[in-house]
Amino acid sequence: MADINAKTKLLCLLGNPVEHSLSPVIHESLSKIKERNFSYMAFRVEEEALGDAVKGLTALGAKGANVTVPHKRAVMEYLKEIDEKASLIGAVNTLVPVPGGLK
Protein backbone atom coordinates (compact mmCIF):
# COMPACT_ATOMS: atom_id res chain seq x y z
CA MET A 1 0.00 0.00 0.00
CA ALA A 2 1.21 3.48 -0.84
CA ASP A 3 1.87 6.08 1.82
CA ILE A 4 -1.45 7.75 2.58
CA ASN A 5 -1.35 11.48 3.21
CA ALA A 6 -3.50 14.60 2.85
CA LYS A 7 -3.01 14.54 -0.93
CA THR A 8 -4.12 10.91 -1.35
CA LYS A 9 -7.18 10.60 -3.57
CA LEU A 10 -9.95 8.25 -2.43
CA LEU A 11 -11.53 5.71 -4.76
CA CYS A 12 -13.79 2.95 -3.50
CA LEU A 13 -16.24 0.13 -3.94
CA LEU A 14 -19.72 0.29 -2.41
CA GLY A 15 -21.69 -2.91 -1.99
CA ASN A 16 -22.82 -5.67 0.31
CA PRO A 17 -20.98 -7.97 0.56
CA VAL A 18 -17.58 -6.67 -0.56
CA GLU A 19 -15.22 -8.79 1.51
CA HIS A 20 -14.57 -11.14 -1.42
CA SER A 21 -13.72 -8.36 -3.88
CA LEU A 22 -10.30 -8.24 -5.49
CA SER A 23 -10.85 -4.64 -6.62
CA PRO A 24 -8.82 -3.08 -3.77
CA VAL A 25 -5.84 -5.35 -4.48
CA ILE A 26 -6.01 -4.66 -8.23
CA HIS A 27 -6.39 -0.89 -7.89
CA GLU A 28 -3.75 -0.55 -5.16
CA SER A 29 -1.32 -2.51 -7.37
CA LEU A 30 -2.06 -0.22 -10.31
CA SER A 31 -1.53 2.80 -8.07
CA LYS A 32 1.97 1.56 -7.23
CA ILE A 33 2.85 0.65 -10.83
CA LYS A 34 1.63 3.99 -12.18
CA GLU A 35 3.05 5.91 -9.20
CA ARG A 36 -0.31 7.52 -8.44
CA ASN A 37 -1.30 8.80 -5.04
CA PHE A 38 -4.68 7.17 -4.60
CA SER A 39 -6.16 4.58 -2.29
CA TYR A 40 -8.96 2.18 -3.28
CA MET A 41 -11.06 0.79 -0.44
CA ALA A 42 -14.05 -1.54 -0.28
CA PHE A 43 -16.92 -0.39 1.92
CA ARG A 44 -19.69 -2.74 3.00
CA VAL A 45 -22.77 -0.51 2.92
CA GLU A 46 -26.17 -1.57 4.22
CA GLU A 47 -29.12 -0.54 2.05
CA GLU A 48 -30.48 1.93 4.61
CA ALA A 49 -27.09 3.70 4.76
CA LEU A 50 -26.55 4.05 1.00
CA GLY A 51 -27.67 7.69 0.82
CA ASP A 52 -25.39 8.61 3.70
CA ALA A 53 -22.50 6.79 2.02
CA VAL A 54 -22.97 8.75 -1.21
CA LYS A 55 -23.18 12.04 0.73
CA GLY A 56 -20.06 11.05 2.66
CA LEU A 57 -18.08 10.37 -0.51
CA THR A 58 -19.08 13.79 -1.81
CA ALA A 59 -18.17 15.48 1.49
CA LEU A 60 -14.78 13.74 1.55
CA GLY A 61 -13.99 14.70 -2.03
CA ALA A 62 -13.77 11.11 -3.28
CA LYS A 63 -12.57 10.94 -6.88
CA GLY A 64 -14.82 8.04 -7.79
CA ALA A 65 -16.48 4.81 -6.78
CA ASN A 66 -17.64 1.53 -8.18
CA VAL A 67 -21.04 0.23 -7.17
CA THR A 68 -21.79 -3.47 -6.88
CA VAL A 69 -24.70 -5.61 -5.75
CA PRO A 70 -27.17 -4.92 -4.38
CA HIS A 71 -26.89 -1.14 -4.86
CA LYS A 72 -26.57 -0.69 -8.64
CA ARG A 73 -30.21 0.44 -8.98
CA ALA A 74 -30.86 1.93 -5.55
CA VAL A 75 -27.88 4.31 -5.74
CA MET A 76 -29.50 6.19 -8.62
CA GLU A 77 -31.86 8.12 -6.34
CA TYR A 78 -28.89 9.67 -4.50
CA LEU A 79 -27.02 10.95 -7.56
CA LYS A 80 -26.86 14.56 -8.73
CA GLU A 81 -26.87 13.43 -12.39
CA ILE A 82 -27.50 10.16 -14.18
CA ASP A 83 -25.88 9.28 -17.48
CA GLU A 84 -28.33 8.62 -20.33
CA LYS A 85 -27.09 5.05 -20.80
CA ALA A 86 -27.39 4.33 -17.08
CA SER A 87 -30.96 5.63 -17.17
CA LEU A 88 -31.80 3.33 -20.07
CA ILE A 89 -30.21 0.34 -18.36
CA GLY A 90 -31.64 1.24 -14.97
CA ALA A 91 -28.39 0.64 -13.12
CA VAL A 92 -25.12 2.40 -12.28
CA ASN A 93 -21.67 0.86 -11.95
CA THR A 94 -19.33 3.86 -11.71
CA LEU A 95 -19.67 7.13 -9.80
CA VAL A 96 -17.67 10.25 -10.58
CA PRO A 97 -17.75 13.69 -8.97
CA VAL A 98 -19.78 16.52 -10.48
CA PRO A 99 -20.53 19.92 -8.94
CA GLY A 100 -22.70 19.32 -5.88
CA GLY A 101 -22.53 15.54 -5.82
CA LEU A 102 -21.82 12.42 -7.82
CA LYS A 103 -23.03 11.10 -11.15
- Catalytic residue IDs: 72
Q: How far apart are CA 30 and CA 37, in angstroms?
A: 10
The residue count of the chain comes to 103
Q: How far apart are CA 36 and CA 46, in angstroms?
A: 30
Cα–Cα distances (Å) from 97 to 1, 18, 60, in that order, read 24, 22, 11
